[in-house]
Amino acid sequence: MEIKDIKAVYFIGAGGIGMSAIARYFMHLGLVVGGYDRTPSELTRRLEQEGMLIHYEENIDEIPHACKKPASCLVIYTPAIPSDHKELQYFRENGFEIEKRAQVLGTLTRHHKGLCFAGTHGKTTTSTMCAHIMHQSHLDCNAFLGGISKNYGTNYILSNKSDYVVIEADEFDRSFHWLRPWMSVITATDADHLDIYGTKEAYLESFSHYSSLIQPGGALIIHRDLEMKESLQNGVRRYDYGLSEGDFHAENIVIENGEITFDLISPIENVKRVSLGQPIPINIENGIAAMAMAQLNGCTADELRYGMQTYGGVDRRFDFKIKTDRLVFLSDYAHHPKEIFESARSIRQLYKNRKITAIFQPHLYTRTRDFYKDFADALSQLDEVILTDIYPAREQPIEGVTSQLIYDHLKPGVEKQLIKKDEVIPLIKSRTFDVLIILGAGDLDNDVPQIAKILAQK
């Protein structure tokens, strides 16, 4: 179904961060947009305010009338939806065109210049950085992001004049194989989603295939330390990047007084005195990749500097809630061992002589089973680790897989505690903290506003 033929769009899993960006795109086109999600959230509340028709139980009768016409309604679903979902079955049995979220994004990359950001971790921050740089520049862009940009208060950026579209390319369920990027960044290929891929080798091969989808005339910008072997079409340029080495890298890095500056070294044009609007050490590399993409597409040195200096961050990505001499409190979406490692290292660099406590909610039984030793190693950089029970998301429990596995492998000298999620708030009320970080991709983040309020009143 061509976009011009669509009159209504229905989303199964409407509250997902990636799904909601596409919903906003179709609402901007003036279409009827409806959807189902299992639970209400702040994001679904905002979508309803913007005009989306959402309900929260599997009920065919709740589907809007305009979304019950097979000839003019496109149905979009997330891979996390089970195959026996009643509404999904209804659409399948009645001849509707049904697409995954990634298929829709793939269509957009065929009609626009897709600037895609892939990688096990770092892709949300890096794509949001690039989108901000581009949107503030003479080029402008559209963007479908994997997090809520603090600069714009949304995960969807609209331009009526730009042919560029910034897209977060998700490797889960091989979704990014639907895309046809004009250019792509690949930030990391640390093995993940082994419940889908089975082996690390299959995971790396998936990224290799993804690289073959970049259009001739475009470019791949790849972190220089990755194991994967790219498979590029003729006419695709290749660049690498890194912190201190690579076609794009940083020199003259200065981290002091809560600020970070550096010079971007580039094969196109060096950019002096780049200042990070969100001064976190890991954002130096993220910024190098984002600026490389923007510069390759024509952003000027002044536009790069301005974009980086005014970048405000992403909700749940190293997200400071309290920042005083007495107390630092932040949350971070990090849920893979390498992400935890980088997050812990960054916070240690920023607060060298302070006691750092992490409350970590592991995400998925399979990820905990596959990486519990790596989680323990990463968390052991901190002074104190409080572990909650595993957030299952789409999974059923696996016998013998609990947070105890991580707890038992934390290094000697680390203070540690194992609690239930519903014990977190009472613990916060009973304790004082120096530097506290909430880690994980589960639902513990929903308690962050309450935690911040409790801590601020102490």
Q: What's the pLDDT tens digit per position in 424-453?
A: 999 999 999 999 999 998 889 889 999 999
Token pair 């600026």 in the structure block, residue: 291
Instruction: Tell me how far apart the alpha carbons of residues 106 and 84 are, in angstroms, rounded to a whole number.
Output: 26
Residue type (1 letter), 451: I
Give residue 440's region: left, alpha or beta (phi > 0; psi -120 to 50): left
Residue 117 near residue 168 (C-beta atoms within 8 A) = yes
Return the pLDDT at 316: 79
Q: What's the pLDDT tens digit per position in 335-361?
A: 889 889 988 988 888 888 899 999 999
Residue 342 near residue 121 (C-beta atoms within 8 A) = yes
The beta-strand segments (E) located in 140-204 are 142-149, 154-157, 164-169, 183-186
* Average pLDDT estimate for 82-89: 92
Token pair 């895609």 in the structure block, residue: 116
Q: Retrieve residue 242's tokens.
A: 């890194």
Query: E strand or H helix at 55, and its extent?
Result: strand 53-55
Q: First CA to last CA across the chain, in angstroms?
A: 57
Q: DSSP of 186-238, one letter per residue?
A: E-------HHHH-SHHHHHHHHHHHHTTSPTT-EEEEETT------PPTT-EE
Residue 377 near residue 348 (C-beta atoms within 8 A) = no
Return the pLDDT at 55: 96
Closest alpha carbon to 387 in 403, 366, 369 = 403
Instruction: Tell me how far apart the alpha carbons of residues 360 and 334 are, in angstroms, rounded to a whole number.
Output: 9
Return the pLDDT at 337: 92
Residue type (1 letter), 437: I
Residue type (1 letter), 233: Q
Instruction: Tell me how far apart the alpha carbons of residues 407 and 418 are, in angstroms, rounded to a whole number.
Output: 7
Residue type (1 letter), 120: T
Strand order across the 259-265 sheet: 249-256, 259-265, 271-275
Q: What's the pLDDT tens digit per position in 369-395?
A: 999 999 999 999 999 999 999 999 878
Residue 310 near residue 129 (C-beta atoms within 8 A) = no
247 band by pLDDT with thresholds 50, 70 and 90: very high
Token pair 């974009």 in the structure block, residue: 307
Polymer length in residues for the chain: 458
Mean pLDDT value across the chain: 93
* Average pLDDT estimate for 318-333: 90
Return the pLDDT at 272: 97
* Average pLDDT estimate for 46-68: 95
Query: E strand or H helix at 413, and its extent?
Result: none
Determine which of 190-199, 225-234, 326-335 has the lowest per-residue pLDDT on average: 190-199
Residue 401 near residue 365 (C-beta atoms within 8 A) = yes
All residues at 6 or more sequence positions from 61 whose CB lies less than 8 Å from its CB, including other chains: none
All residues at 6 or more sequence positions from 2 whose CB lies less than 8 Å from its CB, including other chains: none
Res. 39: pLDDT tops 90: no
Classify strands 384-387 and 356-360 as parallel, antiparallel or unpaired.
parallel
Q: Using alpha carbons, list the distances in angstroms from residue 244 to 50, 201, 265, 291, 435.
A: 44, 28, 9, 15, 29
Residue 303 near residue 272 (C-beta atoms within 8 A) = no
Q: Retrieve residue 226's tokens.
A: 């990755």
Return the pLDDT at 82: 86
Return the pLDDT at 54: 97
* Average pLDDT estimate for 67-87: 91
Radius of gyration of the chain, Cα coordinates, nearest whole angstrom: 22
Res. 105: pLDDT tops 80: yes
Residue type (1 letter), 1: M
1 band by pLDDT with thresholds 50, 70 and 90: low
Q: DSSP of 56-94, one letter per residue?
A: SS--GGGS-GGGG-TTTEEEEE-TTS-TT-HHHHHHHHT
Q: Structure pTM?
A: 0.78
* 317 bridge partner residues: 314
Res. 257: pLDDT tops 80: no
Return the pLDDT at 196: 79
pLDDT cut 70: percent of the chain above it: 100
